[in-house]
């Protein structure tokens, strides 16, 4: 029996790509024309507490750890690319950035849609229809947000590296030699992308939030915040299935996220593919 290939995923950073495998994380950044690769062993709290590897729980843990890793790698890539002084983030800096990011996310994608639906849905009483209206508004805000930031030059560069990350992972998963020529023929869209995960979170939230009554605005906002870990855990299991399942239902659930990746990825050039390849080789080696 042919051994199962280790699953590798990644993230685009400033002038580079981060790749994460089961045991190793590598970040490759182009600096002054040279590709600098930094690798480190993965450390997860779930290795210490095996209970956290159970379905749903593992998704919650993975999301928190990826948020922390994302902040660290973005800071590192920014310093390497000359955007800021080369200083290591302290635990306090990471905690502050994480709280700020979560606060912004809750304000924009939880509080705003919930409050808005209260004023535009006076004629709706069905909990599911109210949840659907709220969910569609949340998706609209997300799409508008992505379109707005994609007009920024630096963000467009990151989206190109995002495309390079996906093309390289496709090349790896198809057992082809990791070269820019082989990678560039693949799609910039990938079923296990973080963009698809975010869209799944919004779809799952429509279904889960519909079981909660709409009796008060504060109650609704608090209930959604409390249920976010469960929504994230379920969405994580679905995105993992999307990467290896041919189920029509799973494909249908993931279809909006796959479409949205057309906005969050751009066609990379070969120099960007070289960076993504250096990152994935850092994981494999």
Query: pTM for the full model?
Result: 0.87
CB atoms under 10 Å from CB of 45, counted, come to 10
Q: What is the mean pLDDT of residues 84-94?
A: 63
pLDDT of residue 3: 56
Cβ-proximal residues to 264 (8 Å cutoff; 6+ apart), any chain: 146, 150, 159, 162, 193, 195
Mean pLDDT over each residue of the chain, to the nearest integer: 87
Which pLDDT score, from 0 to 100, does residue 96 have?
83
- Is residue 101, in this structure, part of any structural domain at all? yes
Looking at the chain, the whole-number percentage of residues with pLDDT higher than 90 is 44
Which residues pair with residue 10 across a beta bridge?
A: 19
The pLDDT, as a whole number, for residue 118 is 77
Task: Look at 13 and 242; give whichever has higher pLDDT.
Answer: 13
Residue 265: the pLDDT is 95
- Residue 243 phi/psi, 5-degree rounding, is -80, -15
Assigned domain for 3 exists: no
pLDDT over 70 at 128, yes or no: yes
CA distance 113 to 76: 34
- Determine the Cα–Cα distance for residues 114 and 32; give it in Å rounded to an integer: 47
Domain assignment present for residue 44? The answer is yes
pLDDT at residue 218 in the model: 84
Total domains, the chain: 1
Residues 6+ away with beta carbon under 8 Å from 220: 114, 212, 214
Name the percent of the chain lying above pLDDT 70: 93
Reported as a pLDDT band with limits 50, 70 and 90, residue 83 is low
- Give the contacts of 145 (CB within 8 A, at least 6 positions apart): 108
Q: What is the mean pLDDT of residues 14-32?
A: 94
| pLDDT the model gives residue 1 | 44
Angstrom distance (rounded) from CA 252 to CA 248: 6
Q: Does residue 86 register a pLDDT over 60?
A: no
Give the tens place of pLDDT for each residue, 138-160. 999 999 999 999 888 889 999 99
Please check the confidence at residue 126 and state whether its pLDDT lies above 80. Answer: no
Does any domain span residue 222?
Answer: yes
Max CA-CA distance within the chain? 61
Residue 146 lies in a domain: yes
Within a domain: 1: no
Cα(99)–Cα(30) distance, rounded to whole angstroms? 30
What is residue 215's predicted lDDT score, i.e. its pLDDT? 66
Domain housing 122: 9-284
Q: Are 154 and 13 in contact (CB under 8 A)?
A: no
Residue with tokens 């109210």: 130
What tokens does 207 get? 């279904």
């Amino acid at each position: 029996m042919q051994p199962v290939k280790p699953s590798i995923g990644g993230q685009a950073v400033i002038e580079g790509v981060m790749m994460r495998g089961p045991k190793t994380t590598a970040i490759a950044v182009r600096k002054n024309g040279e590709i600098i690769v930094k690798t480190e062993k993965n450390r997860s709290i779930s290795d210490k507490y095996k209970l956290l590897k159970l379905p749903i729980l593992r998704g919650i843990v993975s999301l928190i750890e990826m948020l922390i890793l994302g902040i660290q790698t973005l800071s590192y890539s920014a310093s390497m690319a000359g955007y800021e002084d080369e200083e290591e983030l302290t635990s306090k800096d990471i905690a502050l950035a994480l709280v700020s990011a979560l606060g912004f996310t809750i304000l924009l994608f939880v509080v705003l849609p919930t409050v808005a639906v209260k004023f535009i849905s006076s004629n709706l009483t069905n909990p599911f229809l109210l949840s659907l209206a709220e969910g569609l508004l949340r998706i609209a805000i997300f799409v508008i947000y992505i379109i707005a930031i994609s007009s920024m030059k630096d963000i467009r560069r990151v989206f190109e590296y995002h495309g390079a990350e996906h093309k390289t992972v496709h090349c790896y998963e198809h057992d082809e030699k990791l070269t820019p020529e082989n990678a560039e023929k693949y799609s910039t869209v990938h079923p296990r992308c973080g963009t698809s995960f975010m869209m799944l979170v919004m779809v799952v939230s429509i279904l889960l939030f519909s079981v909660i009554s709409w009796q008060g605005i504060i109650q609704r906002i608090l209930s959604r915040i409390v249920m976010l870990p469960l929504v994230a855990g379920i969405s994580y299991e679905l995105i993992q299935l999307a990467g290896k399942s041919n189920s029509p239902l799973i494909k249908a659930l993931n279809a909006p996220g796959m479409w949205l990746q057309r906005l969050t990825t751009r066609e990379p050039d070969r120099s960007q593919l070289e960076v993504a390849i250096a990152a994935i080789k850092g994981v494999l080696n």
